[in-house]
Structure 1
Amino acid sequence: MPTTKTLREGSAAKRAAILSAARELFLADGFDRSSVDAVAARAGVSKRTVYDYFGDKRTLLLAVVDTVGQSLISTIRRTLDDTLAGLSGAAGAEDRLEDVLVTFSMRIATDMLGSAEYATLQRLVRAESGHLPRRGYNSMAETPDEALAEQFAALGEAGLLDVPDPRLAADQFIALTFGVAMDRLGSANAVEDARVRPLVVEGVRTFLRAYRTRAASA
C-alpha cells in the first residue's frame, strides 16, 4: 500500500531529479529490480530524501506515471488552444471546421501519440500494472475527453456543432478517429504509419455528419 506518512514538498529540482532517475531505472530495469538506493544514487540525493519526498517505491512509481501523464495533458491542451480554441469566433469557421478537426487530430497523432512521453507511459502501464492501483491505470484517462468536450461545447454555442452532450460527443469523436486507428492498426501513431491519416479524415467526416448543425452544413 502507498505510504500514509506526511511527505515533504521539498526542492523542486531534487523532486524532478528523483522522478527522472526513477523513470530511467523503472524503464531500464523494471520496478522490482530498481532499488531506492539506486534511484537516490542516480538522482544525486540521499535515500532518506527519496523517502521524505515520496514515502515508498510504489508511491514513487505512481508519481512517475502521473508526471508523464500531466506532460501529455499539457500537450493536448496546447494543441486544442492552437487549433480549436479560436475557431468559434473566426470568419469562415463553417468552411474550416473539417480541416481544423483533422489538423487537431493529426497534431495529437504526431505530437502526443508519436512522442517519447506517450511511449514511456504505455511501457510503464503495461510493464508495472501489478504495482498500479488498477489494471490499465492511466492518470490522464478522463482529462483529454473533458478538455475536448469543453471545446465542443464552445463550438455548439457558436452554432457550428449540435452537441446536447459535449462529453458524449468528445468520446465519440475519439472513438471514430484514434479509436478506429487503434482497433484497425494497433496504433494511432501517425509518425510511424501513413495509414492513420485516411482513417482520421473519415472519422472526422463521420463525426460531422452526426454533429454538424444544419446551418453549418448548408
Structure 2
Amino acid sequence: MPTTKTLREGSTRKRAAILTAARELFLADGFDRSSVDAVAARAEVSKRTVYDYFGDKRTLLRAVVDSVGQSLVTTVRRTLDDTLPEPAGAAELEDGLVAFAMRIATDMLGSAEYTTLQRLVRTESGHLPQQDYNPMADTPDEAIAERFAAFAEAGLLDVPDARLAADQFLALTFGVALDRLGSANAAQDPRVRPLVVEGVRTFLRAYRADRGAGGTA
C-alpha cells in the first residue's frame, strides 16, 4: 500500500529530476527491477530525499504516470487553443474540429509521452492503485466540453449537454478509428484521417446550430 506519511513538497528541480530518473528506469528495467537507490543515483539526490518526496516506490510510480498524464492534458488544452480559438462561422468550425482531431491523432498519439503512458499503465498496472486507473481521468473530455459550451454561447453549436457532446465527438472520431483500425495514431496510419473527417461531419450534422436551416453538411 502507498505510504500515508506526510511528504515534503521539496524543490521543483529535485522533484523533476526524481520523476525523470524513475520514468527512465521503470521503462528500461521495469518497476520490480528498479530500486529506489538507482532512482536516487540517477537523479543525483539522496535515497532519503526520494522517500521524503514520494514516500515509497509505488507512490513514485503513480507520480510518474500522473505527471505524464498531466503533460498530455496540457497538450490537449494547448491544441484546443491553437485550432479552435473563436471560429467565425460554420465552415471554420468544421475545419477547426478536423484540425484539432488530426493534431491529437498525430502530435499527441504519436508522441513519446503517449507511448510512455500506455506502456507504464499496461505493464505496471498491478503496481498502480487500481486496475482501471486512468491518470488522465476525464480532464480532456471536460476541456473539449468547455469549448463546445463556448461555441454554443456563440451560436455555432446546439449542445444542451456539452459533456455528452464531447463524449460523442470523441466516439465519432477517435472511437471509430480505434474500433476499425485498432489505433487512432494518424502518424502511423493514413486511414485515420478519412474516419476523423467523416466523424466531424457526422458530429456537426447532429450539433451544428444551423442544421435545420440548410447549413452545409
Q: TM-score, normalised by structure 1?
A: 0.95
Counterpart of 2:133 (choices 137, 141, 160) is: 137
Secondary structure of the residue that 2:137 maps to in structure 1?
coil
Kindly state the Cα deviation for residue 114 of structure 1 after the two structures are TM-superposed.
0.9
CA–CA separation in structure 2 for the residues paired with 1:5 and 1:144: 31
Contact residue 126 and residue 136 of structure 1 kept, 8 A? no
Tell me the equivalent position of 2:49. Answer: 49
Counterpart of 1:190 (choices 166, 186, 189) is: 186
CA–CA separation in structure 2 for the residues paired with 1:150 and 1:201: 22
CA–CA separation in structure 2 for the residues paired with 1:194 and 1:60: 37
Tell me the equivalent position of 2:78. Answer: 78
Alignment of 1:54-203 (within 5 A): 54-87=54-87, 90=88, 93-203=89-199
Letter in 2 for 1:184: R
- For structure 2, the 5+ residue unaligned runs are none
RMSD: 1.1
CA–CA separation in structure 2 for the residues paired with 1:115 and 1:62: 20
The alignment-based identity, stated in percent, is: 81
Secondary structure of the residue that 1:148 maps to in structure 2?
helix
Letter in 2 for 1:146: E
Kindly state the Cα deviation for residue 216 of structure 1 after the two structures are TM-superposed.
7.8
Kindly state the Cα deviation for residue 213 of structure 1 after the two structures are TM-superposed.
1.6
Contact residue 94 and residue 216 of structure 1 kept, 8 A? no
Kindly state the Cα deviation for residue 86 of structure 1 after the two structures are TM-superposed.
1.9
Contact residue 160 and residue 216 of structure 1 kept, 8 A? no
Letter in 2 for 1:15: R
Contact residue 18 and residue 43 of structure 1 kept, 8 A? yes
Letter in 1 for 2:179: D
CA–CA separation in structure 2 for the residues paired with 1:14 and 1:43: 8
Give the length in aligned residue pairs. Answer: 214
Letter in 2 for 1:71: S
CA–CA separation in structure 2 for the residues paired with 1:13 and 1:75: 22
- For structure 1, the 5+ residue unaligned runs are none
Q: TM-score, normalised by structure 2?
A: 0.96
Tell me the equivalent position of 1:217. Answer: 215
Contact residue 159 and residue 216 of structure 1 kept, 8 A? no
Tell me the equivalent position of 2:31. Answer: 31
Secondary structure of the residue that 1:217 maps to in structure 2?
coil
Q: Deviation per CA, 1:107-139: give whole Å up to 9, x if none.
A: 111121111000000000000111112223221
> CA 1:108 to 1:140, structure 2 compared with 1: closer, same or farther past 3 Å?
same
